Amino acid sequence: MPTSEQLEIKTLAHEFAAGELRPFTHEWDESRTLGDDVFGKLAELGFLGMLIGEEHGGLDFDLLTYLMVLEELAWGDAAVALAVSIHSGPVSGLIQWHGTDEQKSRWLPPLASGEVLGAFALSEAGAGSDPSGLRSSAGWDGDEWRIDGEKKWVTNGTRAGLLLTFARTGEEEISTFLVPGDAKGVSIDGREKTMGFRASDTVTVALQGARVGGDGLLGAQGAGLRHALAALDLGRIGVAVQASGVGRAAMEHAAGYALEREQFGRPIARFGAIQAKLADMAAKVSAGRVLAYEAAAAMEAFRSGDAGERTGVDGVTARAAIAKLVASEAATWAADEAVQIYGGYGYMRHYPVEKLLRDAKGYEIFEGTNEILRQVIAREVLRAAGD
């Protein structure tokens, strides 16, 4: 059960989302950009340094507290939650876990304060759900690393002061690099126009002879694929709670509308068909959240060395995949049902639920499509069965 302190932090995040995100979410969706001051406000609350140690200016949250905050932010605005999850999860997390003392001192304080926004540059046109297929390359050139390639769907790309970048350093070897956003050879090659998350800063990043010094290599050379898979586990757990936040928002909007909308002389909330939809929304969204919490507990146990495995049906990778699969499909279903409850109004752009449906669909695609996640889960089931 959450502690009183965790519940207080959750309440703070909810109040922030209600006051600073919800009133602007339609405007940001229409303009396809977030407010210039939103990251400063997040930084003031410490929400850009949630997984960063206190010695580097962060809050040093455990994963459960981190997930509680992410859900509330997604309840307020999905694009904001996605930006925070990339910055505070895979980017800050990998540096916290694998960086040298010098790398931590250089990057973690400005990441925690919001002076630097982090982006995760893994996916490529031919390597989305399968990071082992990436073709970007890095080689030692003089006293620097030279990186060449093109990264797709990079969230926070335009604003990023740090690109956590993955590139091949050998035929069978992938490494992780800390690339400053203003490094020579780094350019933004176009912003995506997306169905949902329209305010999200999702871009293509071109790396044309981008150069970083020897201190730009994160962890050991060749450890990149291991880093990427760990980051995907964390990212999928984060996606699960974000989806829960969007699904919960859809349920609450639908319930409120059902109490107001009258047909045949009574609120439609009194009809059994509507009540059944709301009950199923609550059950499915709650299930996704619980699975995310269980996956987070498994990840913390594994990282601490106390218990648990990365592989296996009960391992971190399978649990993260299951949580993301269930929560994302629950969110899409709940948002779709919310549109149905609203009827004709649900199809209109100036009502909130159609945006929630567009956003929810994204959770079924990024951080590994749900088709890939079913393969990941099945692989672990078969492994346990001895196949």
- Give CA–CA dist 366/222, Å, rounded: 25
- Give CA–CA dist 43/114, Å, rounded: 5
Where in the chain are the domains?
A: 4-116, 119-218, 224-385
Query: Which residue out of 124, 354, 367, 380 is catalytically annotated?
Result: 367
Per the CB < 8 A criterion, the answer to whether 73 and 21 are in contact is yes
Per the CB < 8 A criterion, the answer to whether 242 and 236 are in contact is no
Confidence at residue 213, expressed as pLDDT on a 0 to 100 scale? 93
Q: Give me Rg for the CA atoms of the chain.
A: 21
Per the CB < 8 A criterion, the answer to whether 166 and 224 are in contact is yes
Closest CA to 94 of 152, 39, 156, 166: 166
Confidence at residue 387, expressed as pLDDT on a 0 to 100 scale? 59
Give the chain's residues under pLDDT 50: none
Instruction: Name the fold adopted by 4-116.
Output: Butyryl-Coa Dehydrogenase, subunit A; domain 1 (1.10.540)
Confidence at residue 307, expressed as pLDDT on a 0 to 100 scale? 57
Catalytic, 367? Answer yes
Closest CA to 301 of 293, 288, 50: 293
The CA distances from residue 373 to 11, 280, 294, 365, 379, in Å, are 32, 23, 17, 10, 10
For the chain, the 3-state helix, strand and coil shares in percent, each to the nearest 5, are: 60, 15, 25
Q: What is the CATH number of domain 224-385?
A: 1.20.140.10
Give the pLDDT confidence of 178-204 residue by residue, as tens digits.
999 999 999 998 888 999 999 999 999
Domain 119-218 architecture = Beta Barrel (2.40)
